[in-house]
A and B are shown apart, each in its own frame.
Chain A
């Protein structure tokens, strides 16, 4: 039973398109994140939601818009995709009660052509 699941696993799309990545966690965690991992493997936080409220919004272009319909879901919508958006996007969840590391999803490899 996958704890943090992301879909799709791979996404190839053309520049200018709009796409969404979905994330769901069944751990009962109260905080969810989106991280971007670039080609150099660097993990950079993009957004964080706690109980459906946005709490962290790093310097990310407005083309990226997260949405959290409930505590268990955090989706990422990207408008007008650019070549530089190509990366692996990881969803993660965290419980502020447990004070342990994140649980990451399996990642979505986005390729913009």
Chain B
């Protein structure tokens, strides 16, 4: 099955700095890569996603890049704010009845 690795496990940045979280996947058949944000005590929520036919996608301060050859994808958050503090999960999936394989999570702390 698919194996998704995520780094770093914790990330601390100063408000206004950029944050980058990286994931690798093992199965070249994976074709959809969502990112989730989970605030303390809350449910994971989809923040951005990318399909394998696209190399980059941006939504305001959040961007995701995908390198299919190297089988890795990254989340970029610019101009970080304290409310960006949360655990972020990457995931990879393939097929119709999508089974999502999640990374182990990155705890992002944005210091004011």
Contacts and interface: CB of A to CB of B under 8 A. Distances in A.
Interface in A28-84: 31, 40-45, 48, 50, 55-56
Interface residues of A, number: 23
Contacts of A101: 34, 36, 46, 49, 91, 100
Contact of A106 (B34, B42, B49, B101): B42
A100 B100 CA distance: 11
Contacts, number: 56
Given A94-B98, A102-B46, A106-B43, 15 more contacts: A41-B38, A41-B107, A45-B99, A55-B97, A56-B97, A56-B99, A90-B44, A96-B97, A99-B51, A99-B98, A100-B49, A101-B49, A101-B100, A102-B44, A104-B43
Interface of A: 31, 40-45, 48, 50, 55-56, 90, 94, 96, 99-107
Interface residues of B, number: 24
Interface of B: 32, 34, 36, 38, 42-46, 49, 51, 87, 89, 91, 96-102, 104-105, 107
